[in-house]
Structure 1
Amino acid sequence: MLRLLNIEFIKLWNNKASKVLILAYFILLSLIAGIAAIKFNFGVFDFHLAEQGIFNFPFIWHFNTYVAAELKFFLAIVIVSMVANEYSNKTIKQNLIDGLSKKEFIISKFVTVAVFAFISTLFIFILSLILGLIYSSYNETSIIFSDLEYLFAFFVKLLGFFSFCLFVGMLIKRSAFALGFLFIWYMFEGIVRLGLFLMESTKEYADAITQFLPLKSMSNLIEQPLARLGAAKEIASMAGEDLSYDYAVHWYEIAIVLGWTAIFIFFSYRLLLKRDL
């Protein structure tokens, strides 16, 4: 396993574009800390975002994983390019000639995306812990380490999305077209959801069906957290709006994404088996 992982990271390290994108991704993740410095002055009114509770334990686990998940497209480019370059540079054929089996090739790719997901999760855990210890009003151990299921959901979400990118890269073989397909698929799921909503005129019906679609199922793992803030609830109450959401991480949502992950890896392998390289 380590041998396969080492092969993949050598390829990535020798690709300048991949190095830049990976570095940019982790720099952007680090900029979450910059949110703490955001201040607005409206005359005599001072607004400091960090003082609104976004870095309070355990809310910080929800907030940071939600924000960080929106940056996953940087690594999506790396993963799609990683697969496309295998075809354009003929390295996939050379690897197979050198004795790497097709099964080992797919395993090496999957292990790589799993490592990306794990390192991202570990990075967010450490960053959130530091920010929480600095800014949180609650520092009891039981509170600090509650709601850690958002980190697990974050890992599963990245694993599922990166596996989808791996499959699309294997299917289309060209980076630009593969990334275009990801965007088109995102639009497709949105159109399906809108169509279901117009048919039944209920958000619940549309959500019940589309929760089984790949990108929507990944999105469902971590719902937007801002409505949990006291300030948001007060504003909604004044406007007569109800901001009730189900913020929990559900086991069946995890199962759906893991199911899609297995499907993507399986069909990536089947594509490789049937291709004449």
Structure 2
Amino acid sequence: MLRLLKIEFDKLRYNKASRILILTYFILLVLIALFAVIKFDIGPVKFHLAEMGIFNFPYIWHFNTFVAGLLKFFLLLVIVSMVSNEYSNKTLKQNLIDGLSKKEFILSKFYMVLAFSLISTAFVFVVSLALGYIYSSYTEFSIVFTDLEYLLAFFVKLVGFFSFGLFLGVLIKRSAFAVATMVVLFLAEFISWSIVSAYNRGTDLADSIYQYMPFKSLWNLIDEPVSRLSAVQTLANQIEEDISYDYSVHWYEITIVLGWSALFIFLSYQLLKKRDL
């Protein structure tokens, strides 16, 4: 495993575009802290995000993993370009000539998926912990380390998303077309879900069906956190609107995404094994 990871990190070290994308991703994660200083003072209306409790423990684990999950597209570009560069630069063929098996090649890419996901999760943990201790009104140990399952959900979400990108990269061979295909598939799933929802308004039929689809299952791992804020809940109560949801991380949602991840890696290997290089 370490040998395969070293090979991949050596390739990244000499890829300037990938280094820039990775740096941009982690800088954006740090910039989550900017939410703390956003203030709006318009006459009598004063709006300060940090004072709304977005960095309170344990809510911060939910909020930060949700926001960080929206930024995963940057690392997706790195994963896809890693695969496409293997074809365009002929390094895949050279690796196989040098003794690397096709199984090891796919494993090396999957190990990078795991590494990116693990490093991102650890980074979000550290940033959230620091912001929480600075701004949170509650710093008791039992409260600070409540709801850490959102970090697990974030890790699984990244693994599933990057595995999907890896599969498309192997399938299509060109990073731009692979990313465009993912966007098209996302739109197709979203539009079809919207149609089913519209025709079955007032029921959970659409969600019951689409919870097993790739993008919907990824989204379900971490529900939007904004409606969970006490200020939003108070406003909803004043206008008699029910916005209560189940924000928990469920084991079956994690299982679905892990199932897709395993399928994408398996299909990537099968494609590469049957392909004449």
What's the TM-score once normalised by structure 1's chain length? Answer: 0.98
How far residue 229 of structure 1 moved from its aligned partner, in angstroms, is 0.6
1:144-185: CA deviations, max 9, x gaps?
000000000000000000000000100100011101001001
Deviates more, 1:89-98 or 1:235-244: 235-244
Could you say which residue in structure 1 is the equivalent of 2:30? Answer: 30
Distance 1:93 1:261 in 2: 25
Distance 2:82 2:251 in 1: 32
Could you say which residue in structure 2 is the equivalent of 1:254? Answer: 254
Distance 2:36 2:91 in 1: 45
Amino acid at match of 2:6: N
What is the RMSD computed on CA atoms of the aligned residues?
0.9
SS of the residue 1:41 aligns to: strand
The question of 1:128 aligning with 2:128 is answered: yes
Could you say which residue in structure 1 is the equivalent of 2:192? Answer: 192
Could you say which residue in structure 2 is the equivalent of 1:102? Answer: 102
Could you say which residue in structure 2 is the equivalent of 1:93? Answer: 93
1:240-275: CA deviations, max 9, x gaps?
211111100000000000000000000000000010
Distance 1:225 1:6 in 2: 38
Amino acid at match of 2:74: F
SS of the residue 2:131 aligns to: helix
How far residue 70 of structure 1 moved from its aligned partner, in angstroms, is 0.0
Could you say which residue in structure 2 is the equivalent of 1:172? Answer: 172
Distance 1:197 1:247 in 2: 21
Unaligned runs of 5+ in 1: none
SS of the residue 1:241 aligns to: coil
Could you say which residue in structure 2 is the equivalent of 1:66? Answer: 66
Could you say which residue in structure 2 is the equivalent of 1:206? Answer: 206
Unaligned runs of 5+ in 2: none
Distance 1:3 1:235, change over 3 A: same
How far residue 231 of structure 1 moved from its aligned partner, in angstroms, is 0.8
Distance 2:97 2:217 in 1: 39
Could you say which residue in structure 2 is the equivalent of 1:225? Answer: 225
Distance 2:243 2:45 in 1: 26
How far residue 191 of structure 1 moved from its aligned partner, in angstroms, is 1.7
How far residue 203 of structure 1 moved from its aligned partner, in angstroms, is 5.0
Distance 1:191 1:39 in 2: 36
Could you say which residue in structure 2 is the equivalent of 1:41? Answer: 41
Identity of aligned residues (%): 64
Distance 1:42 1:182, change over 3 A: same
SS of the residue 2:109 aligns to: helix
1:45-99: CA deviations, max 9, x gaps?
3221101000000000000000000000000111111100100111000000000
* Paired positions, count: 277
SS of the residue 2:187 aligns to: helix
Distance 2:245 2:47 in 1: 26
Distance 1:57 1:4 in 2: 38
Could you say which residue in structure 2 is the equivalent of 1:181? Answer: 181
